[in-house]
Amino acid sequence: MHVLLIFLDGIGLGDNDTAINPFAVMDTSTLHSLSGGKRWLRNTPRTETDRAIFLPTDASLGISGRPQSASGQAAIMTGLNVPQMIGEHYGPRPNAPIRDILNNGNLFKTLVANNKTAALINPFPPPFHAAIARGKRLPSSIQQSVLSAGLPLFTEKHYYERQALSPDWTGEGWTRFLGYENAPVYNAEEAGKKMVELTRQRDFTMFSTWFTDEIGHRGPFESGVMFMERFDKVMEAVLGEWDDDEGLIIITSDHGNMEVQGDRRHSENQVPTVVIGSRKDEFADGFTDLTHITPGILRALDVQS
């Protein structure tokens, strides 16, 4: 049994408005096949298809205001209602109360304690690692979960050895923006196959991208369309390669943002969760909000939480 969690920061279910919502115009037939042929929008209902269940997901968790990344990601990683525990939505980086909650227990820690193999497969360049080591930069809630479990955050070495996948999938950023010569570059199809290959190496694999939230904050609209159309091609390759009996693939987000272009802030919209695999019904049973991700993954991997 292998589980892959694909985390897209800041994508919500917004209005069917072609002027402000990239999800209303993007050409993403593979993603739509996971939601019964419908676009990922506000009124798209919970939908079960042969391979997947599409689950509109509450990211507000009973707390008013705009959901934020640190508390939302912490809810995903712990299965606890972290915004309620700290009395607010908080982000982007975790404050001390959120770090305490994460350090006390999270998905990565529970898996390691139960002798399961787990990794966050995104590579981070040396300046990132140096800034974390010097305390100049706080790890995100997802990164903090990995570190608190005694697991490494991957480096450029993992990337060169093709054991990691860049958050843009293609890795163009490593050569074009970070200046790494001869770093691997993948097209979307290759990236999808690579993601499945890496997933098969261990019990739990997580892929996380912040590009989607960045586009939500800064735009432009066209980048949102382009990035999700690339993800669609990645997922086409993933689904072509993946046998549903192998385990579960889950796609989710921490809060809305990209689906409301023109408003640079996060939205209070629900977020999409998709679960793919033979045991999808077990995962989706009773699923309504972000706190249900971790329990569902632990059930799938037969770990007592």
256 forms beta bridges with 267
Indicate the residue among 143 and 205 with the shorter CB distance to Zn ion: 143
CA atoms within 13 A on the CB side of 55: 26
Interface positions, 152-211, toward Zn ion (CB under 5 A): none
Smallest separation (angstroms) from Zn ion to the CB of 57? 17
Indicate the residue among 168 and 203 with the shorter CB distance to Zn ion: 168
Which residue from 173, 169, 168 is spatially nearest to 198, judged by alpha carbons?
A: 169
- Count interface residues toward Zn ion (CB under 5 A): 1
Smallest separation (angstroms) from Zn ion to the CB of 12? 11
The residues, any chain, with a CB within 8 Å of residue 216's CB and separated by 6 or more, are: 10, 11, 224, 256, 257, 258, 259, 260, 261, 264, 266
Smallest separation (angstroms) from Zn ion to the CB of 137? 16
Indicate the residue among 213 and 259 with the shorter CB distance to Zn ion: 213
Smallest separation (angstroms) from Zn ion to the CB of 92? 6
213 makes contact with Zn ion (CB under 5 A) = yes
Distances from the Cα of 39 to the Cαs of 164, 215, 238, in angstroms? 30, 19, 20
Which residue from 77, 51, 64, 69 is spatially nearest to 12, judged by alpha carbons?
A: 69
Smallest separation (angstroms) from Zn ion to the CB of 168? 17
Let me know how long the chain is: 305
Which residue from 20, 30, 16 is spatially nearest to 274, judged by alpha carbons?
A: 30
For residues 224-252, b (16+ Cβ closer than 10 Å) or e, as one string? bbebbbbbbbbbbbbbebbebebbbbbbb
Q: Which span (17-25, 183-191, 213-221, 228-236) binds Zn ion, by CB under 5 A?
A: 213-221
Cα 252 to chain centroid distance, Å, stands at 5
229 makes contact with Zn ion (CB under 5 A) = no
Smallest separation (angstroms) from Zn ion to the CB of 255? 7
Indicate the residue among 36 and 219 with the shorter CB distance to Zn ion: 219
Indicate the residue among 213 and 232 with the shorter CB distance to Zn ion: 213
Distances from the Cα of 114 to the Cαs of 78, 236, 240, 274, 298, in angstroms? 15, 33, 31, 26, 10
Indicate the residue among 236 and 254 with the shorter CB distance to Zn ion: 254
CA distance 70 to 201: 28
The residue with its CB nearest to Zn ion is 213
Smallest separation (angstroms) from Zn ion to the CB of 6? 18
CB atoms within 10 A of CB 289: 20
Indicate the residue among 203 and 213 with the shorter CB distance to Zn ion: 213
Indicate the residue among 3 and 271 with the shorter CB distance to Zn ion: 271
236 makes contact with Zn ion (CB under 5 A) = no
Q: Please classify residue 29 by burial: count the beta carbons closer than 10 Å to its beta carbon, then call 0-12 exposed, 13-18 middle and 19+ buried.
A: exposed
CA distance 202 to 199: 6
Smallest separation (angstroms) from Zn ion to the CB of 60? 15
Residues that bind Zn ion (CB under 5 A): 213
